[in-house]
Homo-oligomer: A and B are copies of this chain.
């Protein structure tokens, strides 16, 4: 038996929230020959890892190149490396033609990433896909998206990561909409506020929502310092 000696890549499931739906960033795979004009499969942003590059570093690089953003929230959540994950053949042929290496097996480390849509210049609607309407992707990327969402649903209940998807200043309603979008449930606005407002790390700003066609709501911000300070008292986030 010989030892596995694969290439290793990172793939990123980038989530964004447009104040209605949770979306995923998908890119078109590079067209190589004209013959595969018919195929319009999309893929997750990803990259092979360089020698001497740390795993996380590689994921940050990939996202930096793609979005121009630094300081993005990134979390490794699973490794995919089944011997037959590079199927169907059609996709593998495409991979062979784009990469100059002799690919036979690629182990990929999957990350999910949360970005504030407002900050990025990636606002072209084209590339963002509602997470519940993701088209067919190359290889096992559909499975990767599914697992990323499950992971996000788990994490958002106990970790203060919703603020990575919201604008710096946000309303309680926006926060509720986000939770509803991610968890796929409806919540009672009055009970939601009652749980959220007492949280010690939410700071009420002296500023109101603008440009809405109804009573403008108060804006809040997340204070990470206060969060760290009170995290013991907070028995999780529990939403």
- A binding-site residues for B, Cβ under 8 Å: 1-8, 48-55, 76, 78-79, 81-83, 101, 105, 107, 109
A79–B82 contact, CB under 8 A? no
Closest to A58 in B: B4
Chain B residue with the shortest CB-CB distance to A3: B48
Selected from B4, B48, B76, B78, the residue in CB contact (under 8 A) with A4 is: B48
Partner of A109 from B48, B79, B83 at Cβ < 8 Å:
B79
Asked if B55 and A79 sit within 8 Å, CB to CB, the answer is: yes
| Contact B79 A2, beta carbon cutoff 8 Å | no
A interface SS class: loop
Tell me the complex Cα distance, A2–B2, Å: 23
Q: How far is B82's CA from A76's CA once the two chains are assembled, in angstroms? A: 13
Q: What is the bound-complex CA distance between A105 and B6, given in angstroms? A: 12
Contacts of A55 in B (CB 8 A): 79, 81-82, 107
Contact of A8 among B50, B81, B101 (CB under 8 A): B81
Q: List 18 A-B contacts (CB under 8 A).
A: A2-B51, A3-B7, A3-B48, A3-B51, A4-B8, A4-B50, A4-B53, A5-B5, A5-B6, A5-B51, A49-B81, A51-B83, A54-B83, A55-B82, A55-B107, A76-B78, A79-B79, A107-B107
A7–B8 CB distance below 8 A = no
Specify which chain B residues have a CB less than 8 angstroms from the CB of A81 in the assembled complex.
Answer: 8, 49, 54-55, 109
Cα separation A78 to B110 with both chains bound (whole Å): 11
Contacts of A2 on B, CB cut-off 8 Å?
50-51
